[in-house]
């Protein structure tokens, strides 16, 4: 390198501090120095094919997030041969903005399912009538339900199943089997014998189910250069990250280096299946598919059709339910299908058009503002990331010196509160008022974090970890204030006190102010979200208007939870009564009524503890692990006799006793000499 070129570079670098002082004086007489955002680097000389060449450049690295405009002022220096300090030109204003990032979730086809699989019950003659009854054989040409075909393929197990009562069952007039509640005339009896065919029908519309792949993110970095009356605008994207300007008034290179960190507000949807109406093409739901897409958790979907009461249940699974005819109703096994989920959300929207839906995509807060639901839209899920997130931009300019990137003024939180609201509603609003207390226009970020577990800020599908309240950014002039509103939701239906930490900081993370906000929520008086339909598990179904006599509990199979107690360590051992049942399926309550034993309560060799039994009036007896006898006068062990009563709560009762033994030695069997002594004596 020649001595002249070396001197030129050195003179230029030495004059930079002087330029900064000069520019501040003529261009920002009211401004005060502020720390720049990012990193500034100088590039000196490079080696090319012709030897050493020197290019004087400055590169600044700037973080930018949506909602905040980054503004830089650069003063270019023109140098002519023989001129050491060069000539100051006009200021180049650089404005950088970022659009809200959008996550797009690609789809992978999983399966096709019926929208409304349901059960049809057909009444047919009972076999005892001598007529041909219900047919459900696997090789039948014409089963009672018929066969279901996919094209020309006959789907196995689609013939349904049959139920026919025995003569003994027909004689019980109050015995209801699956599907009989739908038949006119009541249950099948000796006087009204019939059988039933149970057919799984698929309905008239089908949905494709798609798994959701890892999202791809898209956004635009818009850069505007202004110099006097000239301006130039261009954009950077993750797929087109570099722009180079070499002609005209600007000599400029911009590069998108990437994102500083992962998106905090990204949705985790890998545990969900997206269902889109698919066939037939002329069905109204298929034509209006954009308003009928459903997002369903995987745990509510059966991939192989083998689980009842889940989306995608198969004919084979439905046929298995035929063995449970005495404890099930028509429709059991076919609950919680797309039809039920869809209509539950539609009912919500009828009552409140702004309600948060559980399954309908167009009614979920995470997608309402992110997608335009119109005919012909892409069959995909898109979500706007409304939380603050930074991308890193590199800007390189020839013969330039950065005057300033940003100015910062101290800010304060003047007020922050949440009025008491009802849990599980959209009434929760956090109000935060911030103010610029300094001398410069400043960008501020307000975050709401560290909330108690009951508080969330976004609408999330079940199981998703997205409870954060999105941050907000604002630019404020000196002395100005702004009021921000944050949506606050609850995870649970509770009467409780809650708290969140509100923080005011700069885009670089500098903290200005913070305050804890404490507020209350009231319990909602009715169910907010649709829950899985509960199945009837009673052994006999009695329709309204039919009264059957109550049958008492059965104590004939009663047994103790512990039959033999060892070691004999004088400690109390709890004993429960098992084996008691109720013919009507009513819940049974056990009450201990007596505890007797065949040895005196306090005698030789038993440890001299009293009483030996307790628990009268409760559902659990406690007996002492002891027996009488010595080495010289050995006993034959102790036997406790525990009396109890079982009640069904409807006036039906039964009583009984169970026996529990304590052997004299571990290898012995205790002998029962009769219930002679009250074990509770001495209580």
Domain with CATH 2.60.40.10 in the chain: 411-522
Which has more pLDDT, 466 or 368?
Answer: 368
Could you give the C-alpha distances from 360 to 345, 411, 636, in angstroms and in order? Answer: 7, 42, 73
Residues 6+ apart with CB under 8 A from 63: 37, 38, 70, 260, 390, 391, 392, 393, 507, 508
> Which is the CATH superfamily of the domain at 411-522?
Immunoglobulins (2.60.40.10)
Whether the CB-CB separation of 301 and 310 falls below 8 Å is answered with: yes
Q: Are strands 242-245 and 252-259 parallel, antiparallel or unpaired?
A: antiparallel
Record: fold of 3-103+217-260+388-404: Tick-borne Encephalitis virus Glycoprotein; domain 1 (2.60.98)
Per-residue model confidence as pLDDT tens digits over 178-226: 999 888 788 999 888 999 999 999 999 999 999 998 888 899 999 998 8
**Which tokens is 380 given?**
């995909």
CA–CA gap between residue 436 and residue 439 (Å, rounded): 8
Mean pLDDT of the chain: 80
Instruction: Check residue 493 and give its pLDDT.
Output: 75
**Which tokens is 656 given?**
């009984």
Could you give the C-alpha distances from 534 to 331, 332, 442, 461, 575, in angstroms and in order? Answer: 12, 10, 57, 22, 33
Could you give the C-alpha distances from 253 to 141, 223, 676, in angstroms and in order? Answer: 77, 11, 103
Residues 6+ apart with CB under 8 A from 14: none
Helix (H, G, I), strand (E, B) or coil at 383: strand
CA 498 to chain centre: 21
With a cut of 80, say whether residue 95 has pLDDT above it.
Answer: yes
Helix (H, G, I), strand (E, B) or coil at 627: coil
CA–CA gap between residue 440 and residue 326 (Å, rounded): 79
Instruction: Check residue 143 and give its pLDDT.
Output: 93
**Which tokens is 452 given?**
């108690």
With a cut of 70, say whether residue 451 has pLDDT above it.
Answer: yes
Write phi, then psi, for 381 (nearest 5 degrees).
Answer: -105, 135
Average pLDDT over residues 148-163: 93
Per-residue model confidence as pLDDT tens digits over 543-568: 433 446 788 999 999 999 999 999 99
Q: Cα dihedral sign for 366, 369, 371, 374?
A: positive
Instruction: Check residue 34 and give its pLDDT.
Output: 32
Q: What is the CATH number of domain 559-678?
A: 2.60.40
With a cut of 80, say whether residue 439 has pLDDT above it.
Answer: no
Average pLDDT over residues 341-361: 91
* CB atoms closer than 10 angstroms to residue 139: 6
Domain with CATH 2.60.98 in the chain: 3-103+217-260+388-404
Which has more pLDDT, 481 or 32?
Answer: 481
CA–CA gap between residue 464 and residue 105 (Å, rounded): 15
**Which tokens is 468 given?**
């954060």
CA 313 to chain centre: 23
DSSP state of 615: -
CA–CA gap between residue 202 and residue 112 (Å, rounded): 12
pTM score, whole prediction: 0.57
- DSSP E strand boundaries for 99-251: 102-105, 107-114, 118-125, 149-150, 153-154, 161-163, 194-201, 206-212, 216-218, 221-227, 230-236, 242-245
């Amino acid at each position: 390198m020649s001595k002249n070129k070396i001197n030129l570079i050195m003179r230029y670098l030495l004059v930079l501090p002087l330029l900064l002082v000069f520019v501040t004086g003529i261009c920002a007489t009211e401004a005060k120095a502020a720390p720049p955002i990012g990193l500034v680097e100088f590039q000196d000389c490079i080696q090319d094919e012709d030897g050493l060449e020197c290019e004087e450049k400055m590169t600044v690295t700037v973080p930018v997030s949506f909602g905040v405009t980054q503004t830089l002022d650069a003063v270019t220096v023109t140098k002519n041969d023989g001129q050491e300090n060069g000539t100051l030109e006009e200021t180049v204003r650089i404005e950088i903005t970022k659009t809200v990032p959008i996550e797009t979730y690609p789809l992978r086809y999983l399966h096709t399912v019926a929208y409304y699989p349901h059960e049809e019950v057909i009444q047919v003659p009972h076999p005892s009538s001598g007529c041909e009854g219900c047919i459900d054989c696997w090789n039948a040409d014409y089963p009672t339900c018929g066969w279901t075909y996919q094209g020309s393929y006959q789907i196995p197990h689609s013939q349904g199943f049959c139920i026919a009562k025995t003569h003994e069952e027909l004689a019980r007039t109050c015995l209801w089997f699956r599907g009989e509640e739908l038949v006119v005339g009541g249950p099948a009896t000796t006087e009204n014998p019939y059988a039933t065919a149970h057919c799984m029908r698929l309905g008239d519309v089908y949905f494709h189910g798609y798994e959701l792949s890892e999202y791809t993110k898209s956004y635009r970095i818009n850069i505007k250069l202004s110099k006097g009356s000239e301006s130039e605008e261009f954009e950077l994207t993750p797929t087109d990250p570099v722009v180079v300007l070499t002609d005209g008034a600007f000599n400029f290179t911009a590069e998108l280096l990437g994102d500083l960190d992962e998106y905090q507000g990204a949705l985790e949807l890998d545990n969900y299946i997206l269902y889109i109406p698919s066939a037939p093409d002329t069905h109204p739901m298929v034509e209006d598919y954009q308003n009928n897409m459903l997002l369903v958790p995987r745990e509510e979907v059966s991939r192989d059709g083998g689980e009842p009461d889940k989306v995608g249940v198969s004919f084979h699974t439905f046929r298995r339910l035929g063995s449970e005819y005495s404890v099930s109703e028509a429709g059991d096994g076919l609950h919680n299908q797309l039809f039920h989920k869809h209509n539950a959300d539609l009912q919500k929207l009828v009552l409140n058009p702004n309600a948060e839906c559980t399954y309908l995509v167009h009614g979920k807060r995470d997608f309402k503002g992110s997608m335009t639901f119109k005919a012909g839209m892409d069959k995909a899920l898109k979500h706007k990331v409304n939380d603050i997130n930074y991308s890193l931009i590199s800007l390189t300019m020839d013969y330039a010196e950065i005057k300033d990137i940003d100015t910062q003024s101290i800010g304060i939180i003047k007020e922050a509160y949440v009025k008491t609201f009802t849990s599980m509603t959209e009434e929760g609003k956090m109000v935060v008022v911030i103010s610029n207390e300094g001398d410069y226009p400043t960008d501020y970020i307000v975050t709401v974090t560290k909330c108690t577990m009951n508080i969330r800020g976004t609408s999330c599908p079940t199981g998703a970890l997205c409870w954060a309240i999105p941050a907000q950014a604002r630019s404020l002039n000196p002395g100005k204030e702004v009021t921000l509103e944050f949506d606050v939701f609850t995870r649970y239906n509770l009467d409780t006190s809650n708290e969140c930490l509100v923080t005011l900081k700069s885009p670089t993370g500098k903290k200005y102010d913070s305050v804890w906000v404490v507020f209350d929520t009231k319990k909602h008086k009715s169910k907010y979200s649709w829950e899985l339909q509960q199945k009837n598990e009673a052994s006999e179904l009695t329709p309204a208007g039919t009264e059957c006599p109550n049958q008492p509990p059965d104590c004939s199979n009663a047994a103790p939870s512990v039959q033999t107690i060892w070691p004999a360590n004088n400690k109390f051992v709890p004993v429960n009564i098992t084996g008691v049942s109720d013919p009507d399926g009513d819940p049974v309550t056990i009450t201990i009524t007596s505890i007797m034993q065949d040895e005196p309560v306090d005698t030789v060799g038993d440890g001299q503890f009293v009483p030996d039994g307790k628990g009268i009036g409760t559902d659990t007896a406690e007996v002492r692990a002891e027996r009488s006898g010595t080495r010289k006068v050995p006993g034959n062990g102790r036997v406790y006799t525990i009396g109890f009563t079982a009640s069904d709560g409807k006036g039906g009762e039964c009583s009984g006793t169970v026996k529990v033994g304590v052997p004299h030695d571990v290898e012995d069997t205790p002998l029962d000499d009769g219930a002679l002594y009250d074990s509770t004596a001495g209580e």
